[in-house]
Homo-oligomer: A and B are copies of this chain.
Amino acid sequence: MHRTRVRVVEDALDANDTIARANRADFDGAGVRVVNLMSAPGAGKTTLLERVLGDGLDGVRPGVLEGDVQGSFDADRLSALHVPVTQLNTGAGFGGECHLDANMVRSALPALPLGEIDLLVIENVGNLVCPAEFRVGEDVRAMISSVAEGEDKPLKYPLMFRACELVVVNKIDLLPHVDFSVERFLANVRQVNPGAEHMLVSARTGEGVAAFRDWLVGVAQREVAPA
């Protein structure tokens, strides 16, 4: 039983990578750079996006692909900003509830206004484990970790922290009220991913979010890497 399950997942991950490359080629062809944004539930992905997309992106035209188990709560919030938002519900089925995979994103491609945007932010399902295993055709992966979650998270969920180029530390307005040392957290990040960039923000108060906005603009301006 166990051997069968392992072989199936290896096949599935190979198939996923193939489809992810096809997605990436389509995004490249449309001149759209793509960020895969991940975090635990409630870390503040949507609130941070509301904050930075509402303020504009220096001429970069953003779009959002919202991954959720069900409902369109986040998409509804972002639509209020007059940014094109496409909802993708992962629904029921094999591992399908807990992350986005390349095929789900592929199925959403026809609904994405690729000709009208320069940057697509894919808001993944809130989960610190499974999304890190599935590329979806993104240029870059970023994650948000809230100070309320505790400073041990990089050591407990190393795959996620290792998969990301950027770690956004959110909810720094709560620092006076929680047992969280930024220094120890960043040391833990470095232990699993020495090259990760980081920034400290409060999506709620707006503190530090300019750095994330600038980072998104920088991603949109990246050259397409040669295939």
Contacts and interface: CB of A to CB of B under 8 A. Distances in A.
Nearest to A173: B177
Contacts of A15: 1
A76 to B, nearest CB: 11
Which of A103, A129, A156: most chain B CB closer than 10 A?
Answer: A129
A152 B5 contact: no
A66 B148 CA distance: 21
Given A156-B71, A174-B178, A149 B42 contact: yes
Size band of the interface chain A makes with B: 35 or more
Interface string A83-98: 0000000000111011
A174 B174 CA distance: 8
Contacts of A138: none
B177 A94 contact: no
Given A40-B41, A129-B130, A179-B204, 6 more contacts: A1-B15, A6-B94, A8-B94, A9-B93, A40-B126, A173-B177
Given A5-B8, A159-B69, A174-B178, A127 B148 contact: no
A178 B69 CA distance: 24
A157 interface: yes
Interface of A: 1-2, 4-6, 8-9, 12, 15, 40-42, 68-71, 73, 93-95, 97-98, 103, 125-130, 133, 146, 148-150, 152-153, 155-159, 171, 173-174, 177-179, 204
A108 to B, nearest CB: 16
A41 B148 contact: no
A40 B103 CA distance: 26
Given A6-B94, A94-B8, A174 B148 contact: yes
A176 to B, nearest CB: 8
Contact of A98 (B6, B98, B153): B98
A179 B148 CA distance: 14
13 contacts: A4-B8, A8-B8, A8-B94, A9-B94, A41-B153, A41-B157, A42-B146, A69-B158, A95-B95, A97-B159, A130-B130, A148-B149, A177-B177
